[in-house]
Amino acid sequence: MAFIEIRNLFKRFKNVVAVNHVDLEVNQGEMLTLLGPSGCGKTTTLRCIAGLENPEEGDIVIDGRPMLSEGFVQPSKRGIGMVFQNYAVWPHMKVYNNIVYGLKIQKIPRQSIQKRAQEVLGLVGLSGLEDRYPAQLSGGQQQRVALARALVGNPKVLLLDEPLSNLDAKLREKMRFEIKSLVRRMGITSVYVTHDQAEAMVISDRVAVMESGDVVQIGTPQQIYKKPANRFVADFIGTMNFMAGEVVQVLEDTDSAYVRTEFSEKLLCNTSGISATKPGEKVYASIRPEDVEVFTEPPEVQENLFKGTIVHKAYLGNFLYFFVSINDTMIRVQVPHHLPQEEGQDLYVFLNPEKCVVLF
Amino acid sequence: MSRGNIFLAALLWSIIAFLVIYPLSILVVESFKIAGTENWGISNYLEFFQDTYYLRTFGNTLVLSSLVLITTTLFGVPLAYILARYRHWGKTVFTALILLPIVLPAYAGVFAFVIFFGKYGTVNLLLMDTGLIKTPINFIYGLHGLVFVQSLHMLPFIVLGLSAGFTNIDPCFEEAAEVEGASGFWRFLTVTLPLCTPSYLAGAVIVFLWPFTDWLTPLILGQVDFLPSVSYINIAYHFTDMHRKYMGIVAVVISSTVCLTLFLLARWWVERKKYTGLSKGTTSEGRVIEPTPLVKWGAYLYIFFIAFLVLLIPIVLGLAAFSRRWVLEPFPTYWTLENFRLILLESPLLIKNSFIFSGIALIFGIGFGLPASYLIVRTRVPGRNALDFVITLMLAFPGMAVGVSYLLAFWKDIPLATYWIIMPLALFARRLPYFLRMAHSSYLQLDISLEEASEVSGAGKLRTFLNISLPLLVKGVLVGVVMFFIMAFQEISTAIFLYRGGWETLPIGIFLNWHRGMEFGIAAAMAFLMIVITFILLLIISRIGGGILKAAWGPGGT
């Protein structure tokens, strides 16, 4: 049985459904990320786990204890730690008092409070700053105070609501790894909310992608990237070329299908990641820019090879980026090496049938 | 939604029902009673709108309101512009001076100007001494004087709204107009001013309604044919003439209706047309202009002039307070502390009453206001918006309506008006919005995640409120507390109907001493004392810091 179980969770605000019958499981010691665009219900789901929202239906079980079905458990009684988007560090309390607030409420002896506080301050790298007021700290330091406060009580579950979104880009990247290693070392089960796909990829054991109140796909970062469940996931995580078309023939034994697109009568695509499809179905033949191969001279392969014209070319340091037009269909291409061709010249484009997938 | 919140809401609603809704509905009911009979009907209202005298009174009030609004606007727009946009020396001091009338009781202003501009007041005597004029000029008695006194009192409401508007407009709007080729004055007329209309209107409606509430200024200036003064005379002087009393009540109900309607219309309109929030990235100072020397000196002269008029109030009252027999002389010649000796020896009760009544009202105010703002901002209890609405409406209600309705409602069946507690209760009901607004707006600024973080850390609702919310709210709440106290301390319109022998407050003492005519110095000394107390309280607020005078939005005065 999973450590956190969310069953059939449903929450709406007036007429807007924020969380639409969601089921989720988080295993012990795992870091699960809820990823999605703003308004997809990820923060509401997190706040339901925290007890800051009271959902209309469903149940949340934490470590075997139901939070809703046997009476609403107040946030203060759930044994959670939470890091808020704007840190919510209390401006009228010194760093030390911010951190030990929860411990004092639990009436823990003074000495153990002090010891525990020093440990946590050391963990987050704030030793020596305990007598400062939050206004005397940088944004990154306030962030660490919020983290320390959430961790100090050894919570069963750590909830993080876009904790890095207010930091500048450099610091954000550094903190991703810090949080990940800290949480992993302490072995706390945690749920992390973000709209930043790169952050989700770095920090998570598993990612749950949400769209309009539904969980669309759950999996490891690799699974989500390599085998997106649908067009939305593929578009939200990384960049993908979508070529609208219609299935003309399904080749069951090889898990592939021929798709008719605007520039090709028969484009061979991989169907292994999706449920069964049949001829006549409207689909998107999809391929990531880095999976497109380009040649200056025609290669030996015949299948899925097209001639295209370079419309835009950009040099981005570690790779080249092209917009190539194949009969007016624009394909984005990313190649890691130099090519002499300029805008207006022709290229051979190979859409590898293994990597060109069918999505709905 | 917890049971506790619902219980709290029910409790607050029953207080509102008892102290606001019940008395005000009695007021309306009484206005339909027909004198000398047991009957009911609309005949009082019919008479009001057919009788030429009452109609003229109504018309006079409308005219006065319009004149006051026009005057304050004409003087206020340049004043607000100078204060908001020009970088000049003494900005804070002048802003404070010009906004001062908000916290000075209106009657203090009238007394000062009567002494200074009266028929044989300082200005006339000086002019006659120099031989410029033979007979005194009537500066103050009459409609023009009334417009002058009321305009000066209400000017801050226009200036406050507009200068906030001028400061808060994103500079890019004006810069865009500048790039498009609109220059100077044209840009001001087509872009700046229209963008400020919502903040102007919020102040303008309060200004316009003032003549519908202020009964005392016309009375002192010998102009009684205005709605509130007529109501006062009909009710206070003719309490035994049932018909006149009912007609007075009708007049109160009509002024209240005008006030409520315009207040609600303005509120609705302002809500619809808020521009200032359109874009981010304004500096706290807004767009600041460095004027040419000529314009700068003109501007200085102008704000000096207005500030001088405002300063006249405490100065003249001070002169009168420290002197005796100041008659037919431009300035007093006989200096004494006699007035203060008389006040402190013979009527310390007034000062004591004022502090006790306002203090008790304040305790009620905090006890009601804090839970109310919690309910309104932080919970989803049904009816919380209605609660906010009803309390805000009290801002628009004339003080006289509260006073008269308390007298009618708490006399026979619930004889509360025979106990002194009626005084603080009435002050509490009348001044409640001042405290609630402040508590409310500081609550809105308090990030809810600060409270949520406490709950997640294991604290219950009450503990969170005491440990987190209250310490963070305390600044705003304290400003609200002091504002509430100042306003309760100066209150006269409600108290004048409710006081009995032994319950007189300082404002009532001022009025009575003035009324008796001879004890003019004592009235001035009392008014001066009141101003000093107000100043001390204001100093406390400015120590607490932040948005001092903004706290005072809403109709101030008597």
| Per-residue confidence band for A217, with pLDDT thresholds at 50, 70 and 90 | very high
Please indicate if any CB of chain B lies within 8 Å of the CB of A323: no
Could you tell me if B505 and B495 are in contact, meaning their C-beta atoms sit under 8 angstroms apart?
yes
pLDDT tens digit string along B67-109?
999 999 999 999 988 888 887 777 778 888 888 888 888 888 8
Which comes out higher in pLDDT, residue B238 or A283? Answer: A283
Residue B412 pLDDT exceeds 90? no
Q: Using CB atoms and an 8 Å cut-off, which of residues 57-96 of chain A contact chain B? A: 74-78, 80-82, 84-86, 88-92
pLDDT tens digit string along B348-375?
888 899 999 999 999 999 899 888 988 8
**Which amino acid, A262?**
E
- Average pLDDT for residues B446-470, to the nearest whole number? 89
Q: In a 3-state reduction of DSSP, which class is residue B219? A: helix
Highest mean pLDDT among A26-35, A92-101, A296-305: A26-35
- Average pLDDT for residues B454-465, to the nearest whole number? 88
Residue B275 pLDDT exceeds 80? no
In this prediction, residue B544 carries a pLDDT of 67
Residue B555 pLDDT exceeds 60? no
Task: Identify the residue whose tokens are 């009082």.
Answer: B44
Residue B413 pLDDT exceeds 70? yes
Range name among A218-232, A235-249, B78-92 with the lowest pLDDT average: B78-92
Please indicate if any CB of chain A lies within 8 Å of the CB of B459: yes
User: Which chain B residues touch A106 with a CB distance below 8 Å?
Assistant: 458
| Per-residue confidence band for B549, with pLDDT thresholds at 50, 70 and 90 | very low
Sign of dihedral through CA atoms B426, B430, B434, B437? positive
| Residue contact B452–A82, C-beta within 8 A | yes
| Residue contact A153–B458, C-beta within 8 A | yes
Q: In a 3-state reduction of DSSP, which class is residue B272? A: helix
| Residue contact B452–A52, C-beta within 8 A | yes
Interstrand relation of A241-251 and A189-194 (parallel, antiparallel or unpaired): unpaired
Select from B449, B452, B454 the Cβ nearest to the Cβ of A101.
B454
In this prediction, residue B405 carries a pLDDT of 92
- Average pLDDT for residues B363-388, to the nearest whole number? 88
User: Which chain B residues touch A86 with a CB distance below 8 Å?
Assistant: 447, 449
Interstrand relation of A346-350 and A293-295 (parallel, antiparallel or unpaired): antiparallel
In this prediction, residue B552 carries a pLDDT of 39
| Residue contact A76–B458, C-beta within 8 A | yes
pLDDT tens digit string along A298-349?
888 778 889 899 999 888 888 889 899 998 889 999 988 778 888 888 889 9
Interstrand relation of A4-13 and A57-62 (parallel, antiparallel or unpaired): antiparallel
Instruction: Write the secondary structure of chain A as one string of H (helix), E (strand) and C (coil).
Output: CCCEEEEEEEEEECCEEEEEEEEEEECCCCEEEEECCCCCCHHHHHHHHHCCCCCCEEEEEECCEECCCCCCCCHHHCCEEEEECCECCCCCCCHHHHHHHHHHHCCCCHHHHHHHHHHHHHHHCCCCCCCCCHHHCCHHHHHHHHHHHHHCCCCCEEEEECCCCCCCHHHHHHHHHHHHHHHHHHCCEEEEEECCHHHHHHHCCEEEEEECCEEEEEECHHHHHHCCCCHHHHHHCCCCEEEEEEEEEEEHHHCEEEEEECCCCCEEEECCCCCCCCCCCEEEEEECHHHCEEECCCCCCCCCEEEEEEEEEEECCCCEEEEEEECCEEEEEEECCCCCCCCCCEEEEECCCCCCEEEC
CA distance B463 to A85: 23
A154, closest residue in chain B (CA to CA): B457
Name every residue whose Cβ is closer than 8 Å to that of residue B428 and which is 6 or more positions away in sequence. B19, B360, B361, B364, B365, B368, B488
Residue A95 pLDDT exceeds 90? yes
- Average pLDDT for residues B511-522, to the nearest whole number? 78
Across B413-432, b (16+ Cβ under 10 Å) vs e yields eeebbeebebbbbbbbbbbb
Select from B449, B463, B472 the Cβ nearest to the Cβ of A84.
B449
Highest mean pLDDT among B322-331, B476-485, B535-544: B476-485
Q: How far is CA A147 from CA A86, A89, A178, B469, B535, in A?
A: 12, 10, 11, 21, 47
The ipTM of this complex is 0.78
Please indicate if any CB of chain A lies within 8 Å of the CB of B457: yes
Interstrand relation of A241-251 and A65-66 (parallel, antiparallel or unpaired): unpaired
| Residue contact B457–A85, C-beta within 8 A | no
Residue A284 pLDDT exceeds 70? yes
| Per-residue confidence band for A199, with pLDDT thresholds at 50, 70 and 90 | very high
Residues of chain B with pLDDT > 90, as a percent, come to: 25
> How many Cβ atoms from other residues are within 10 Å of residue A74's Cβ?
16
Residue A202 corresponds to which tokens in the numbers above? 């770095």
Residue B524 pLDDT exceeds 90? no
**What is the overall mean pLDDT for chain B?**
84
- Average pLDDT for residues A221-239, to the nearest whole number? 90
| Per-residue confidence band for B545, with pLDDT thresholds at 50, 70 and 90 | low
CA distance B115 to A87: 60
CA distance A57 to A330: 46
CA distance B62 to B156: 21
Could you tell me if B139 and B128 are in contact, meaning their C-beta atoms sit under 8 angstroms apart?
no
pLDDT tens digit string along B145-166?
999 999 999 999 899 888 888 8
Residue B556 pLDDT exceeds 50? no
Rounded CA Rg of chain B = 24
Cβ-Cβ contacts under 8 Å between A and B: the total is 64
pLDDT tens digit string along B220-253?
888 889 999 999 988 888 777 888 888 899 999 9
Could you tell me if A105 and B463 are in contact, meaning their C-beta atoms sit under 8 angstroms apart?
yes
A101, closest residue in chain B (CA to CA): B457
Could you tell me if A227 and A274 are in contact, meaning their C-beta atoms sit under 8 angstroms apart?
no
- Average pLDDT for residues B311-326, to the nearest whole number? 86
Phi/psi of residue B31, nearest 5 degrees:
-70, -15
Considering the entire predicted model, what is its pTM? 0.77
Select from A50, A84, A90 the Cβ nearest to the Cβ of B468.
A90
pLDDT tens digit string along B252-273?
999 999 999 999 998 888 777 7
- Average pLDDT for residues A204-227, to the nearest whole number? 93
User: Which chain A residues touch B457 with a CB distance below 8 Å?
Assistant: 76, 101-102, 105, 149, 153
A88, closest residue in chain B (CA to CA): B450
> How many Cβ atoms from other residues are within 10 Å of residue B492's Cβ?
24
- Average pLDDT for residues B270-291, to the nearest whole number? 61
Please indicate if any CB of chain A lies within 8 Å of the CB of B382: no
Min distance A100 CA to chain B CA atoms (Å): 9
In this prediction, residue A46 carries a pLDDT of 95
Interstrand relation of A57-62 and A65-66 (parallel, antiparallel or unpaired): antiparallel
In this prediction, residue A8 carries a pLDDT of 94
Select from B447, B460, B467 the Cβ nearest to the Cβ of A76.
B460
Select from B450, B458, B463 the Cβ nearest to the Cβ of A88.
B450
Select from B457, B458, B472 the Cβ nearest to the Cβ of A92.
B472
CA distance B473 to B436: 12
Residue A102 corresponds to which tokens in the numbers above? 């929860």
Residue A183 corresponds to which tokens in the numbers above? 């949480």
| Residue contact A88–B460, C-beta within 8 A | no
In this prediction, residue A265 carries a pLDDT of 83
Where residue A344 falls (left for φ over 0; alpha for ψ -120 to 50; beta otherwise) is left
| Residue contact A88–B471, C-beta within 8 A | no
Q: How far is CA B420 from CA A341, B356, B499, in A?
A: 96, 11, 8
Min distance B422 CA to chain A CA atoms (Å): 39
In this prediction, residue B550 carries a pLDDT of 41
Min distance B452 CA to chain A CA atoms (Å): 7
Highest mean pLDDT among A245-254, B14-23, B161-170, B237-246: B14-23
In this prediction, residue A63 carries a pLDDT of 93
CA distance B44 to A152: 73
Phi/psi of residue B135, nearest 5 degrees:
-110, 150
> How many Cβ atoms from other residues are within 10 Å of residue A112's Cβ?
10
Q: Decide: residue B177, CB within 10 A, 0-12 exposed, 13-18 middle, 19+ buried.
A: middle
User: Which chain A residues touch B477 with a CB distance below 8 Å?
Assistant: none
User: Which chain B residues touch A74 with a CB distance below 8 Å?
Assistant: 455, 460
Residue B36 pLDDT exceeds 90? no
CA distance B466 to B448: 15
In this prediction, residue B209 carries a pLDDT of 92
- Average pLDDT for residues B177-197, to the nearest whole number? 77
Residue A65 pLDDT exceeds 60? yes
| Residue contact B456–A91, C-beta within 8 A | no
In this prediction, residue B557 carries a pLDDT of 31
